Amino acid sequence: MNLKNLSKLARITGTGSYLPEKILSNADLEKMVETTDEWIVSRTGMKERRIAADDEFTSHMATKAATIALQDANIQADQIDAILVATLTPDHIFPSTAALLERNLGAKNAAALDIQAACTGYLYALSIAKAWIESGTYSNILVVAAEKLSTIVDYKDRGTCILFGDGASAAVVSNKGAGLAIQHTCLGADGEQSELLKLPAGGSRLPASKETVEQGLHYLQMEGREVYKHAVRRMENAAKECLDKCGLSDSDISWLVPHQANIRIMEAIAKRFGIPMERVFQTIHKYGNTSASAIAIALDELLKEHPVSTGDNLLLFAFGAGLTWGASLLTQIEE
């Protein structure tokens, strides 16, 4: 690994995250649907998830996470050139949540754009930020992933309501400074499998109506077993491609930072890479699956709890509706 070459790459110079106060535990879910704590933990690894307040929206959580990330990067809001928000639960279809965040932060010099790649959204946003930084288009980009999934979860559907929670995380991506160099990002999609995980109504195909509400079509729908089959294979392939592009092997990985969707998926991929679970960073037991923000929250907590050293390699990977998937290799560098 040539650290001089890495110094030319876009890098994450600050991170932050925010989780709502309200906790929805497995014991709470036992009172809502036919399930048990033992069943949920054994199959998903989840014990709790956070639920945003009724008057707490995606843009609010995004603002709190972004404020912390700006402080961590020691940068002012007016120094941000662009804001990217990865979310599938925006405040509105339009205006964008990124525009609302620009207003909330006072980032008056920033362009603003929402990205919708479901659970893979954070990695898609990192890829765009990397391209803009390294092309010289921008110097400082704020990447945010925020979700209020509780607004699209049917709490009578035991197959999905146990899985999802709310939260937000943010990262400042810059052209200079110490941080995590974004070595490479591999992305993919397969629209042929789009029916496996979807929100049927609310768009132009099925606008909101009395019928769509009565039929519960504004809640997410998922074919869990089929999604699982695709998730393991797609994330493993993306992660291996990422390592190959960077000229690294499994033994060079310091930490795996996976999408926090299911403990069995995480264990399966760790086994295939020969990585002990002690080096697979997990937040799934505390927060469940927070879609685009899950991997970003995990990265922020990893950096706060286990400071990385120069040359450490972090391998991120995610999978979501679309279907979409991706992986990103981050390496700690000095300024």
Digit-coded pLDDT (tens) for 231-241: 999 999 999 99
- The active-site residue out of 26, 184, 259, 262 is 259
Q: Is 288 inside any structural domain?
A: no
Domain containing 311 — which CATH number? 3.40.47.10
Nearest partner of 179 among 3, 298, 1, judged by Cα: 3
Which of residues 178, 199, 229 is at a domain's end? Answer: 178
Contact yes or no for 297/161 (Cβ under 8 A): no
- The active-site residue out of 119, 161, 186, 242 is 119
Task: Please indicate, yes or no, whether residues 121 and 248 belong to a single structural domain of this protein.
Answer: no
Q: Is residue 2 annotated as part of the catalytic site, yes or no?
A: no
Query: What H or E segment, with its residue span, contains residue 142?
Result: strand 140-148
Confidence of residue 335 (pLDDT cuts 50, 70, 90): confident
Strand partners, 14: 172
The whole-angstrom separation of Cα 5 and Cα 115 is 29
**Domain extent at residue 246:** 183-283+294-333
Task: Say how far residue 94 (Cα) sits from the centre of its chain.
Answer: 21
Contact yes or no for 166/94 (Cβ under 8 A): no
Contact yes or no for 269/282 (Cβ under 8 A): no
User: Which amino acid, 129?
Assistant: A
Contact yes or no for 104/63 (Cβ under 8 A): yes
Contact yes or no for 298/312 (Cβ under 8 A): no
Confidence of residue 6 (pLDDT cuts 50, 70, 90): confident
Contact yes or no for 161/154 (Cβ under 8 A): yes
Confidence of residue 57 (pLDDT cuts 50, 70, 90): very high
The whole-angstrom separation of Cα 14 and Cα 64 is 14
Contact yes or no for 333/13 (Cβ under 8 A): no
Query: What H or E segment, with its residue span, contains residue 270?
Result: helix 263-273
Residue 4 clears pLDDT 80, i.e. is over it? no
pLDDT digits (tens, 9 = 90+) for 164-185: 999 999 999 999 999 999 999 9
Q: Is residue 313 annotated as part of the catalytic site, yes or no?
A: no
Q: Record the pTM.
A: 0.97
CA dihedral 180, 127, 17, 105 (to 10 degrees): 110
Task: Please indicate, yes or no, whether residues 170 and 199 belong to a single structural domain of this protein.
Answer: no
Q: Is residue 161 annotated as part of the catalytic site, yes or no?
A: no
Which of residues 178, 203, 238 is at a domain's end? Answer: 178
pLDDT of residue 2: 65
Q: What is the mean pLDDT of residues 260-275?
A: 95
- The active-site residue out of 140, 262, 289, 313 is 289
Task: Please indicate, yes or no, whether residues 168 and 82 belong to a single structural domain of this protein.
Answer: yes
